[in-house]
Structure 1
Amino acid sequence: MIEIKNITKTFGDRQVLAGIDGTFRPGDTSLIIGGSGTGKSVLLKCMIGLIKPDSGEVLYDGRNFLTSNIDEQKAIRREMGVLFQGSALFDSKTVLENVRFPLDMLTEKPEDEKVARAHECLQRVGLEGAADRMPSEISGGMKKRVGIARSIVLNPKYLFCDEPNSGLDPLTSIKIDQLIKEITDEYKITTIVITHDMNSMMEIGEKIMFLYQGNKLWEGDSDTITHSTVPELNEFIYANKLLREIEK
């Protein structure tokens, strides 16, 4: 379980996060949604240690990540999997080498175990046959799946996905959402997805947090989001629906 308490962050004179609280449970696919510049990606970076918040707590199963010493933080980071926006694959490495990279960096497993685990993760995302290909030789959707395979190669307890559907067509986006949901259910991972995609909200949003100008204005699930009485959220939903219609 991940808990965040009173997370605040200011850049210069601009407050990006204003006291954000939330609880994210194992086996749930939790979404953090909001328009551009609302603070959702900054919140994720605070949670995984890429940005230090001005105040607040980030608890991983009761362990305060922000006040832990370096060794404790490293231990928590080994339990994280991260799917970055754009997949962030190494162009000079094969698909297999990209997937096994966290094993090379963070473990001392024997070579054969690393290779076997990387193949296992590629098989889980349906890309076993692409192991020897380069990132330039595969599609955008396949790159996302490689990124997911890499994010689960260390058997994480916590999975973070930053805009996993960015740049994908609607059908591929649905497949990526389904894969994230399946992996979350299968391994009982605590999964947090940063997104503005309406389909994701309705299909996999077991818990949804809406941010607006650095504030949490609403929290619920896919069954209750369309009944919101929050004007900013309703406007966000309407804009998403309109965009999807235009894309069709």
Structure 2
Amino acid sequence: MIDIRNITKSFGDRQVLAGISGTFKPGDTSLIIGGSGTGKSVLLKCMIGLIKPDSGEVLYDNRNFLSGDINEQKAIRREMGVLFQGSALFDSKTVLENVRFPLDMLTDQSESEKLDRAQECLKRVGLDKATDRMPSEISGGMKKRVGIARAIVLNPKYLFCDEPNSGLDPLTSIKIDQLISEITDEFKITTIVITHDMNSMMEIGEKIMFLYQGHKLWEGNSNTITQSDVKELNEFIYANKLLREAEK
């Protein structure tokens, strides 16, 4: 479980996060949504330690990530898996080598153990036949699946996905959403997805947090999001629908 408490962050005179709090439970696919510049990506970076918030707490199963010593922070980081927006694959490495990379860097497993684990994760995302291909030889959707395989190769307790559907067609986006949701449920991971995709909100939004200009204006799930009386959220949903229709 992840608890964030009163997270604030400013860059110069501009406040990006204004006291954000929330709880994210194991086995749930939780979404943080909002338009561009609302603070959702900054919040994620605060949660995984890429940005230090000005104040607040981030607790991983009651362990304070921000105030812990270096060894405590490293231990928590080893329990994280991250799917970056652009997949962030190494162009010079094969699909298998990309997935193996965290094992090479962070474990002392034998070569056979690392190979078996990487192949197991690629099989889980349906890419066991693509192990020797280079990133330039696979589609955008396949790159996302490689990124997911790499994110789960260390058996993380916490999975963070930054705009996993960015640049994908609607059908591929649905498949990526389903894969993330299935893996979350299967391994009881605490998963947080940063997105502005309406399909994701309706299909996998077991918990949804809506940010607007650095403030949390609404919290609920896919069953209650369309019943909100929050003006800014309704405008966001409407704009998202128009964008989807224009893409068809």
Normalised to the residue count of structure 2, the TM-score between the two structures is: 1.00
Measure the CA separation in 2 of the matches of 1:74 and 1:102. 14
Q: Secondary structure at the match of 1:174?
A: helix
Q: Displaced runs of 4+ in structure 1, greater than 6 A?
A: none
Deviation at 1:199, TM superposition (A): 0.1
Q: Secondary structure at the match of 2:186?
A: helix
Deviation at 1:100, TM superposition (A): 0.7
Q: Counterpart of 1:39?
A: 39
Aligned AA for 1:121? C
Q: Counterpart of 2:157?
A: 157
Measure the CA separation in 1 of the matches of 2:146 and 2:110. 22
Aligned AA for 2:90? F
Q: Counterpart of 2:232?
A: 232
Measure the CA separation in 2 of the matches of 1:77 and 1:204. 25
Q: Secondary structure at the match of 1:156?
A: coil
Deviation at 1:53, TM superposition (A): 0.1
Measure the CA separation in 2 of the matches of 1:73 and 1:21. 20
For the pair 1:86 / 2:105, whether they are aligned, the reply is no
The aligned runs of 1:132-147 (5 Å cut-off) are 132-147=132-147
The aligned runs of 1:1-248 (5 Å cut-off) are 1-248=1-248
Deviation at 1:70, TM superposition (A): 0.7
Measure the CA separation in 2 of the matches of 1:2 and 1:114. 29
Deviation at 1:21, TM superposition (A): 0.2
Aligned AA for 2:149? A
Deviation at 1:65, TM superposition (A): 0.2
Write out per-residue CA displacement over residues 151-179 of structure 1, whole angstroms, 9 at most, x where no aligned residue. 00000000000000000000000000000
Measure the CA separation in 1 of the matches of 2:100 and 2:184. 20
Aligned AA for 1:38? T
How many matched pairs?
Answer: 248
Deviation at 1:9, TM superposition (A): 0.2
Give ranges in structure 1 of 5+ residues lacking alignment.
Answer: none
Q: Secondary structure at the match of 2:23?
A: strand
Deviation at 1:15, TM superposition (A): 0.1
Q: Secondary structure at the match of 1:160?
A: strand
